[in-house]
Chains A and B, each alone.
Chain A
Amino acid sequence: MALENEVTEKKYIKLNNSCVNDPIYLSWLNRFGGTSYWLFGKLNNYITKTKEVGYFERYVSDLETTQGNDGMISKTNEKSITVGAFVEETDMDGLRGLFESSKVKMLTNPTTWTTEGAKWHDVRIDTGSFIYKRTNKTNFEIEMDIILPKQYVISE
Chain B
Amino acid sequence: MPLSIISTPEVDVNSNSNTVGKYFSVNRPIKFGIQRDADFAFTAINCNSTTVATVTATGFGAAWYDTVTAGTDFEIEITGSTLPDGTYTVTSDILIGSNSFTIDITGLGYTGADSFTGGDLKIVRLNYRVKTEISVAGSVVGTAVNKLDSNYQVETDISAFLKSSLSYAETFGFDVLNKKDTTVSNFFILKFAEFWSGYTGNYSSEGTGKFYLINSVRQLGDPYNGNMGDYTIFSNYDIADPRAKFLSDFEKPSYFEGYPFSLDFIFNADYGSSFSLNKHEEKFNINNSSSGVDVNVLSNIGKGYVNRMTLNGSYSSSVDHLEVWLEKIAVG
A interface vs B, CB < 8 Å?
Answer: 1-18, 23, 25, 27, 29-39, 90-91, 93-94, 96-97, 103, 105, 107, 110, 113-114, 117-118, 120
Contact = CB atoms under 8 A, between A and B. Distances in A.
B246 A9 contact: yes
A10 B325 CA distance: 5
A11 to B, nearest CB: 5
A16 B252 CA distance: 12
B252 A13 contact: yes
Given A7-B277, A13-B253, A103 B168 contact: yes
Contacts of B315: 15
Nearest to A98: B249
A84 B40 CA distance: 70
A9 B325 contact: yes
Interface stretch (B90-98, B155-163, B255-263): B255-263
Nearest to B306: A33
Contacts of B237: 2, 7
Contact of B256 (A4, A7, A37, A120): A37
* The 4 residue pairs across chains A and B that have the minimum distance between CB atoms: A34-B247, A94-B250, A34-B264, A33-B216
A11 B248 CA distance: 10
Give the most central of B170, B219, B244, B306: most A CB within 10 Å: B170
A15 B320 contact: yes
A98 to B, nearest CB: 8
Contacts of A11: 246, 248, 253, 263, 323-325
13 contacts: A10-B325, A11-B263, A11-B323, A12-B251, A13-B321, A15-B255, A16-B256, A25-B256, A31-B249, A32-B228, A36-B249, A37-B253, A93-B250
Give the most central of A30, A37, A90: most B CB within 10 Å: A37
A127 to B, nearest CB: 18
Given A14-B254, A32-B247, A93-B250, A7 B326 contact: yes
Given A6-B327, A13-B324, A15-B321, A30 B246 contact: no
Given A10-B323, A16-B255, A17-B317, A35 B173 contact: no
A94 B116 CA distance: 67
In this complex, the interface size class of chain B, counting residues with CB under 8 Å from chain A, is: 35 or more
Given A1-B240, A2-B241, 20 more contacts: A2-B242, A4-B239, A7-B233, A8-B246, A11-B324, A11-B325, A13-B253, A13-B254, A14-B252, A15-B321, A27-B170, A29-B168, A32-B231, A33-B184, A34-B184, A37-B261, A91-B252, A94-B248, A97-B249, A118-B174
B243 A17 contact: no
B321 A5 contact: no
Nearest to B218: A31
* Interface majority SS (helix, strand, loop, mixed), chain A: mixed
Given A15-B322, A17-B317, A107-B259, A5 B249 contact: no
A37 B327 CA distance: 25
A29 B168 CA distance: 8
A99 B143 CA distance: 35
Given A6-B327, A10-B325, A15-B321, A32 B248 contact: yes
Contacts of A29: 168, 184, 215
Contact of A118 (B245, B250, B260, B263): B260
A147 B233 CA distance: 37
B249 A93 contact: yes
A93 B258 CA distance: 24
Given A14-B321, A29-B184, A7 B168 contact: no
Contacts of B242: 2, 9
Nearest to B237: A7
Interface in B292-332: 306, 308, 311, 315, 317, 319-329
Contacts of A25: 256, 259-260
B185 interface: yes
B196 to A, nearest CB: 40
B217 interface: yes
B163 to A, nearest CB: 12
A25 B174 CA distance: 15
B253 A120 contact: no
A71 B61 CA distance: 84
B235 to A, nearest CB: 7
A17 B313 CA distance: 11
A31 B37 CA distance: 39
B214 interface: yes
